[in-house]
Amino acid sequence: MLSTAQRTHPGVEETRAKIVAAARILFERNGTRGTTTRVVAEQAGVNEATLFRHFGSKRALLDAMREEACGVEQFRSILASLPGDDFAADARAIAYHAVEHMIGKRAMMCVSLFEDAAGTDDSPEFRGPSQILLDLAAYFTTMANAGHPLRGDPTFIARYFMGILFSYVVGRKLWESSVPDRATLDAIVDVFLNGVYT
């Protein structure tokens, strides 16, 4: 019988990572309905029983992919590295990172949006986006407490800020830009600052 210590060795994490990477490629290319767990297992080089041992279900695999795609730890590192003395510069740094990350994960975002729109996403809200909003709201609270004149509730400000960046990523073809344009992001941040910073 395997002990808990044996199940947490690096090989377990490596196998999980291979399965998530294979699933991401296939789900992004074929959608969730067009991808079976058998095909994901084959792509990852494991058998289907191994996939189910690690994730339990196709839904749990999708949820794990969504969590991994959020990059919560990266986002926390960005927030921790901000000097905090120039709120506008900090907001730009957050915007550049968030948009670059979202563009890199755009296909996964589209899979999630499709699942939500189709009404097939019956899983509870996944933690990644909620955690990012909580961390950003905490950062805005810290800035307000340090004397930066922010108008409004930090939680609302965090949702508003991430919402406009998300809209830019999802609709960037409307901007006729396939890559993040710093001038456009600077203008978006300026609009944001005009609304929340006095």
Question: Per-residue pLDDT tens for 104-139?
Answer: 877 777 666 666 666 555 555 556 678 899 999 999
CA distance 28 to 35: 9
CA distance 50 to 154: 43
CB 19 within 8 A of CB 40: yes
- Nearest CA to 99 among 160, 170, 156, 27? 170
Burial of 20 (0-12, 13-18, 19+ CB in 10 A): buried
CA distance 116 to 63: 13
**What SS3 state is found at 26?**
helix
Distance of CA 119 to the CA centre of its chain: 20
Sign of CA dihedral 25, 29, 31, 34: negative
Given this model, what pLDDT does residue 1 score?
38
Number of other residues whose CB lies within 10 A of the CB of residue 102: 22
Give the HSE-up count for residue 44: Cα atoms under 13 Å, Cβ half-sphere: 27
Residue 7: is its pLDDT beyond 60?
A: no
Question: Per-residue pLDDT tens for 18-50?
Answer: 999 898 888 878 877 888 999 999 999 999 999
Q: What is the mean pLDDT of residues 164-179?
A: 75
**What SS3 state is found at 101?**
helix
Lowest mean pLDDT among 60-64, 168-172, 173-177, 180-184: 173-177
High-pLDDT (> 70) share of the chain, %: 81
